[in-house]
Amino acid sequence: MPEKQPITLLLQAFASGDKSALDEVLPLVYAELRKLANGYLRRERSSHTLQPTALVHEAYIRLVRQDSPDYRSRAHFLAVAATVMRQVLIDHARARGAGKRGGGQLNYSLDDARDAPSEQPLDMLAVEDALQALERKDPGKAKLIELRFFGGLTLEEMVEVTGSPADQVRAELRVAQAWLNRRLAPERAGSKNLQK
């Protein structure tokens, strides 16, 4: 049996009730959390009031407040942190009155969203609605989208988190991407039709 990594041991201590263990984990994964935060914020409008540091800190506060954390590994922790960051941004968008579904901004496919430059803001609420619809239909596929596109996990890390074979993860991720792209397509088409 391979020896457990220090991060995994600290995460297990945190799950067992040692709240200070997360304070030791944070410096070890801070660069990766900043990278996730930068990725999220790169897709947001340029006037967004949250900065990467603030997003990481808000996510950290929410992670510490969890009642029953069960982080199994570094990859699993980063996946949960990515989910929490996404929720922070969604809460922020809703609080700022984003009820108009992007305020006339264009919508994008998941591939567009993943690679969107800063001048093309991501409509987080439209993507969130689509992801929630997928989660109601197939929670496993929704989790894969979350891990890959929001968590930035590699295929190997996704296999570790899900416990599924790589071929299955790859195939299910493709199906999930196609489903979400179809779900987002009418909004993109409507936006283009309005511009003509």
Residue 57 domain-assigned (yes or no): yes
Residue 33 domain-assigned (yes or no): yes
Q: What domain count does the chain have?
A: 1
Residue 91 domain-assigned (yes or no): yes
Q: At 45, phi and psi to the nearest 5? A: -60, 150
Range of the domain at 46: 6-195
Mean pLDDT over all residues of the chain?
77
Three-class SS state of 107: coil
Residue 1 domain-assigned (yes or no): no
- Please give the pLDDT value at position 149: 78
Residue 21 domain-assigned (yes or no): yes
Torsion of CA 130, 132, 136, 139, to 10 degrees: 100
- Please name which of 182, 167, 152 lies closest in space to residue 83, comparing C-alpha atoms: 152
Residue 183 pLDDT greater than 60, yes or no: yes
Its pTM stands at 0.65
Per-residue pLDDT tens digits for 72-119: 788 888 888 888 888 888 888 777 764 444 444 544 455 555 554 443
As a whole-number percent, the residues of the chain with pLDDT over 90 amount to 13
Residue 101 domain-assigned (yes or no): yes
